[in-house]
Amino acid sequence: MSSQIILPRILQVGAGASEELPNVLASLNCSRPLIITDKMMVELGYAESLKACLLQRSISADVFSDTVPEPTVGSIQAGVEQVRNGDYDCIVALGGGSPIDSAKAISILARFGGVMSDYKFPRIVNESGIPVIAVPTTAGTGSEATRFTIITDETSDEKMLCVGIGFMPVAALVDYNLTLTVPARTTADTGIDALTHAMESYVSQKANLYSDSQALAAMRLLGPNLRTSYKDGTNKPAREAMMLGSTLAGIAFSAASVALVHGMSRPIGAAFHVPHGLSNAMLLPTITEFSIPSAPERYADCARAMGVADETDTTDSANQKLLKELYALNEELQVPTPGGFGIDRAKFFELIPTMAQQALASGSPGNNPRVPTAQQIAVLYENLW
């Protein structure tokens, strides 16, 4: 059996990678970019820097900065209109996962029309939209290197997973310099998200030798550097490792899919507006504990790759160390419980059956080494409290 691996055509990696944007556009034969980003990137001056860098090469760029965290169908509509009414030949997606996910959706809707739900899974979107050049500013969702986007249908709170080559950026400029000023909270949430991508793709039932190699490399980069980048955001070697680790984790899960943590995380995010990385972080230790009995060797490999166990540890001892590490990480990185985040207990418990159904319907729990029933998912949600 073979696996199909889909990647960006260009990965520009390292300090100053984002400044290569004009060269990358030239090599793609693109000259009329629309920068899709958010208000924060405009405020921090990153959008202006990209514009200035392009202008030096006589390329003028417009900016659409109205993307929102956890993008919705409504939030991307104005972007779709702008691309349709303009003569743009590419989209530069600048920011964290939300602007990049928004840009991917806009790219397809602007070229092919229809509504977002037309493109949701199980449809596979292999059409090519307006080319997207992703410039991630967090480490990260890995969205710069995945064939997925997630757009929320605000009428039902459903997080629509959209899949296909059409959502893979044509290029990704992976520049850790852009992450040096990311606040500690975002560093922790996005960093745990990246670690979750790496772990879930390694234990996924869809894992293959290629995704394994990327996932293990990602864990080696992320495991030892998560705390450092959280505590000292200016630490360049730690930021560099986190940034590359995040992209490799994106490549891994784009090839092997995510599993139960993400499956259960999306409904929490949609119902209670918990940032994606944070709801993953809340779930990661509990779900790992639940899943280890079905893939003990694989989880032991994760512990070793992350540097919390070594070759002399037995599988069992490596797994104990892994769990200890995940609980300790949440403690040190101040990940709140659902209650600590401010979620109402009664509302949470009332929604558990719905969230369990939504989790199962997403398909991700089916990739988990231990596939849970709806009843087991409900109990896992209860245990989070």
Residues that bind Fe ion (CB under 5 A): 193
Query: How far is Cα 140 from Cα 214, in angstroms, rounded to an integer?
Result: 15
In angstroms, what is the minimal distance from the CB of 93 to Fe ion? 17
Query: How far is Cα 8 from Cα 170, in angstroms, rounded to an integer?
Result: 5
In angstroms, what is the minimal distance from the CB of 360 to Fe ion? 18
In angstroms, what is the minimal distance from the CB of 317 to Fe ion? 29
In angstroms, what is the minimal distance from the CB of 48 to Fe ion? 29
Q: Which is nearer to Fe ion, 88 or 202 (CB)?
A: 202
Question: Which one, of 306, 308, 265, lies nearest residue 70 by Cα?
Answer: 265
Q: Which is nearer to Fe ion, 82 or 187 (CB)?
A: 187
Q: Which residue has the tokens 């995040």?
A: 246
Distances (CA, A) of 175 to 12, 192, 200, 276: 8, 19, 25, 22
Tokens found for residue 38: 């958010």
Q: Which is nearer to Fe ion, 50 or 284 (CB)?
A: 284
Query: How far is Cα 141 from Cα 103, in angstroms, rounded to an integer?
Result: 14
Can the peptide bond before residue 293 be classed as cis, meaning omega within 30 degrees of 0?
Answer: no
Q: Which is nearer to Fe ion, 131 or 269 (CB)?
A: 269
In angstroms, what is the minimal distance from the CB of 176 to Fe ion? 19
At position 61, the amino acid (one-letter code) is A
Q: Which is nearer to Fe ion, 175 or 193 (CB)?
A: 193
In angstroms, what is the minimal distance from the CB of 72 to Fe ion? 18
Query: How far is Cα 57 from Cα 24, in angstroms, rounded to an integer?
Result: 12
Q: Which is nearer to Fe ion, 193 or 301 (CB)?
A: 193
**Across-strand partners of 33?**
90
Q: Which segments of the chain are extended strands (E)?
A: 10-13, 33-36, 62-64, 90-95, 132-136, 148-153, 158-163, 171-174
Question: Which one, of 145, 108, 124, 375, lies nearest residue 252 by Cα?
Answer: 145
In angstroms, what is the minimal distance from the CB of 258 to Fe ion? 7
Q: Which is nearer to Fe ion, 88 or 253 (CB)?
A: 253
